Amino acid sequence: MTKLNLASKTSIFLLVICFSTGLGVGWTSYLSSKASIETLTFERLTAIQSAKSNEVQRYFEQIGHQLQTLSANPTTIAALSDFSQAYAGLENTESDGELAFRNGPLHQFYQTEFLLELDPSGTSTAQWLTTQADALIPKSSGGVYLQHHYVATNPHPSDAKDLLFRADQDLSAYGPAHARYHGFFQRFAKKFSYYDIFLVDSKSGNIVYSVFQESDFGTSLLTGPYRNANIAQAFKLASNPSSPDATYFVDYQPYLPSHNAPAAFFASPIFQGEEQFGVLIFQIPVDQINNVMTGNQQWTEHGLGASGETYLIGQDFTLRNASRFFIENPDDYFQTLAALNYPKQKLILLERFGTSILTQEVETDSVLFALQGNSGAHIVDDYREVPVLSSYGPVTIGDQRWAVIAEIDTAEAFAPITSLELAISLSTFVIGLVIVGIGIRVSRSLTQPISALTKAALQVGNGVVIEPLDRSSNDELGELTTQFNQMAHNLHQQRLTIDKQTSENYQLLLNVLPEPIANRLKNGEVQIADAFPSVSVLFADIVGFTAMSRGEPPIAILRMLDELFGAFDRAAIDNGVEKIKTIGDSYMAVCGMPEPNSRHADQIAALAIAILQCLREFNERNDTNLSMRIGAHSGSVVAGVVGTSKYIYDLWGDTVNMASRMESTGIPDHFQVSEDFKNQLSEPFEIAFRGELQVKGIGPVNTYLISALPPTE
């Protein structure tokens, strides 16, 4: 049997206490937090669901009030009277004219425009198109006449036929009536966002007026092709009203004249005196309801996060507004439904109509309870079979009861709980490790400080930077630990100070000496002097700078020289040239040392041309007119470090003197070189012979001018 020492027993005991306490506190906190978040989320969802219910209720109440007001308006009554009389007169249209209208443009409109828009795939046969056109064309002479002039031959596109106020060829009494009243109803429809407004004759059921002038215009809601549509149901309800100001609502269904877009209808009777002689019908689009329920697609801003949504469900268990998930990501939406074995035919309708309204079925517990008139909140699986927190309630529109649902995914709602659970687990684990560590430290409190001091002393002696040792007690051992920490800290600070000073000194050396020379000084060489058999030396001098600088503030002169020589320094670095020094407004540079370089003349020439370019740019920026003389010569030099307290790396020899003469005898804004320099060039620079000059101490010398960079390949 394995024996446990005191340190191990102490660690195990503390670990058991820690985990037991942590798990108990954590589980209690988890349950309490989950309950709180669930309550708060349900309260928020219920508030949103209630607000949406009120918005929907107010929207339809507003429609009812507008419908009542417009149906009793004298203009509406007069319009219905004039339209009905004009329509009745059209019933006596000559049969030959009706036949021409029916078989001419009207038949062509249905075959080549209306029916093809219903079948965008274009797979319908000619026979099917003919049969369907015959079935949809009005049977009455008046309906054929109106559709011919205001639908088939309407010059405006199918989505803007309401722009026609009077057909040019309409010589009947209908034309003036349409021109007189159309603007009134058109403005009303646009003002209150109605898809269409209809005036229907009570006796015949004929739609004698329509703002939008679709294929239902002029047909009879009693005997025509749309007698079984929901618009006909609305007409029939309003034809037997309980009172003159009664309104009747018929729920959304796909409406063929509007290319099967979802449409609902509100209807109200129109009375002339005590007698009802017509019905006013509003076609309600889904857009307004959709905007209300989706909050104009601002779900996050309305407190629904990344997965929440609100939606309406009709008594047929289909959506009355678009699903958030369909709007945001249709592809994922289709894949989700397909994975749930959603009926393929309904998926086809979803894709064809481009909306989940009337095509997506939702038959969850929340919907069932709400359609029964109940309100509440619970966790259910939604129509995606995803667990959600759901708040539900009913809303009544006319004789229809809809379900208003507000939901959010449990994964999102309980995300803070998941984070809390992870945090509790991690904290319990970490605390356990800490307590085990404390147990081990307590059991080793006598030996560990001495071992730590011994190990730390060895490390400090080897130059290793250590973290301060913990003082484990207030006795002599603790005081020794404190003093040791202070000693180690002092040694480390001294080492940092020495390293910093050494680095700063080295950077100062690099500012005045080439890096190889600085490294040689750093490594202990005292006297540095070298002979270089072949280098190129450049001198540049600003012409007239002394005269120009008279009267200028010292800081201005300094800034100009700093800007100009700074540009020269960058050009020297770019061309691999070593700057030696500047004296006043003169600039000296060399190439080919301290590292030998066979192309030293080419690089000096490139630098000279770059210096002239920098000068031109400087003049343009500062509106000055400075010039420079530049000269160069190639040959041997002696270079070395001069000075002890203030170092300088300098050059000596005839090559330096000749380069200086090339500059001093040069032409402003030109680069003058000796024949030795020219002979060192390997690149095809543009070189012009200047002539023979008398150079002091040397005699006649051939000189040349270099004026351009070598041409590019």
Nearest C-alpha neighbor of 294 from the set 324, 318, 261, 333: 324
Tokens of 469: 């040792």
Q: Half-sphere exposure of residue 496, counting CA atoms within 13 Å on the CB side? A: 7
Tokens of 89: 């007169």
Residue 180: count other Cβ atoms within 10 Å of its Cβ.
15
Distance CA 90, CA 143 (A): 8
Which residue type occupies 567? Answer: A
Q: Tokens 């058999």 — which residue?
A: 533
Q: How confident is the model at residue 354 (pLDDT cuts 50, 70, 90)?
A: confident
Q: Say if residues 217 and 146 touch (Cβ distance below 8 Å).
A: yes
Q: Tokens 């009861």 — which residue?
A: 401
Distance CA 703, CA 691 (A): 6
Q: For the packed helices 287-294 and 6-71, what is the interaxial angle rounded to 10 degrees?
A: 150
Distance CA 565, CA 423 (A): 61
Distance CA 624, CA 585 (A): 15
CA of residue 42 relative to chain centroid, distance: 32
Distance CA 425, CA 651 (A): 74
So what's the pLDDT on residue 510?
52
Which residue type occupies 262? Answer: P
DSSP state of 470: P
Checking if the pLDDT of 3 tops 70, the result is: no
Percent of the chain beyond pLDDT 90? Answer: 40
Q: Tokens 């093809």 — which residue?
A: 116
Domain boundaries, the chain: 72-285, 515-708
Q: Say if residues 267 and 234 touch (Cβ distance below 8 Å).
A: yes
Tokens of 352: 């064809």
Residue 168: count other Cβ atoms within 10 Å of its Cβ.
10
| CA distances (Å), origin 62, targets 67, 267, 268, 327, 397 | 8, 13, 14, 28, 12
Q: What is the pLDDT of residues 594-649, one digit of tens each?
A: 888 889 999 999 999 999 999 999 999 988 888 999 999 999 988 877 766 566 77
Average pLDDT value for the chain: 83
> H-type helices in 282-414, by residue range?
287-294, 324-328, 330-339, 344-353, 365-371, 410-413
Tokens of 588: 């000296």
Distance CA 210, CA 200 (A): 9
Q: How confident is the model at residue 713 (pLDDT cuts 50, 70, 90)?
A: very low
Residue 122, Ramachandran bin (φ over 0: left; ψ between -120 and 50: alpha; else beta): left
Q: Which segment, 172-176, 340-344, 518-522, is predicted with the most confidence on average?
A: 172-176
Q: Which segment, 76-80, 127-131, 556-560, is predicted with the most confidence on average?
A: 76-80
Distance CA 486, CA 498 (A): 18
Q: Helix, strand or coil for residue 59?
A: helix
Distance CA 654, CA 662 (A): 12
Helices (H) and strands (E) in the chain, counts: 24, 17
Q: Give the least confident one: 34-43, 228-237, 400-409, 432-441.
A: 432-441
Which residue type occupies 309? Answer: E
Checking if the pLDDT of 132 tops 70, the result is: yes
| CA distances (Å), origin 157, targets 109, 151, 258, 569 | 12, 10, 14, 72
Q: What is the pLDDT of residues 572-586, one digit of tens each?
A: 999 999 988 888 888
Q: How confident is the model at residue 466 (pLDDT cuts 50, 70, 90)?
A: confident
So what's the pLDDT on residue 279?
96
Q: Tokens 């992870």 — which residue?
A: 422
Which residue type occupies 453? Answer: L
> Regarding the domain delimited by 72-285, which CATH topology (the fold level of the hierarchy) does it fall under?
Beta-Lactamase (3.30.450)
Distance CA 473, CA 470 (A): 9
Nearest C-alpha neighbor of 364 from the set 386, 383, 349: 383
195 compared with 501, residue with greater pLDDT: 195
Which residue type occupies 343? Answer: P
Q: Say if residues 628 and 582 touch (Cβ distance below 8 Å).
A: no
Distance CA 145, CA 17 (A): 94
Q: Half-sphere exposure of residue 675, counting CA atoms within 13 Å on the CB side? A: 8
Checking if the pLDDT of 172 tops 50, the result is: yes
Q: Which long-range contacts (CB under 8 A, 24 or more apart) does 467-473 make?
A: 472/441, 472/445, 472/448, 473/445, 473/449
Q: Which segment, 34-38, 98-102, 390-394, 684-688, is predicted with the most confidence on average?
A: 390-394
Percent of the chain beyond pLDDT 70? Answer: 79
Mean pLDDT of 390-402: 91
Q: How confident is the model at residue 21 (pLDDT cuts 50, 70, 90)?
A: low
Checking if the pLDDT of 22 tops 80, the result is: no
Q: Say if residues 395 and 53 touch (Cβ distance below 8 Å).
A: yes
For the chain, the residue count is 713
The β-bridge partners of 207 are 200
Distance CA 25, CA 11 (A): 21
Tokens of 412: 């999102």
Burial of 138 (C-beta count, 10 Å sphere; 0-12/13-18/19+): buried
Q: What is the pLDDT of residues 246-272, one digit of tens each?
A: 999 999 999 999 888 889 999 999 999
Q: How confident is the model at residue 115 (pLDDT cuts 50, 70, 90)?
A: confident
Q: Say if residues 262 and 253 touch (Cβ distance below 8 Å).
A: yes
Provide the terminal-to-terminal Cα distance of the chain, rounded to the nearest Å. Answer: 88
As its CATH architecture, domain 515-708 has 2-Layer Sandwich (3.30)
Which residue type occupies 519? Answer: N
E-strand spans in 204-260? Answer: 207-210, 248-255
- In which element (H, E) is residue 116 found? helix 115-118
Checking if the pLDDT of 5 tops 60, the result is: no
Checking if the pLDDT of 6 tops 50, the result is: no
Distance CA 653, CA 470 (A): 66
Q: What is the pLDDT of residues 297-338, one digit of tens each?
A: 888 888 888 888 999 999 999 888 888 888 888 888 888 888
Q: Say if residues 156 and 110 touch (Cβ distance below 8 Å).
A: no
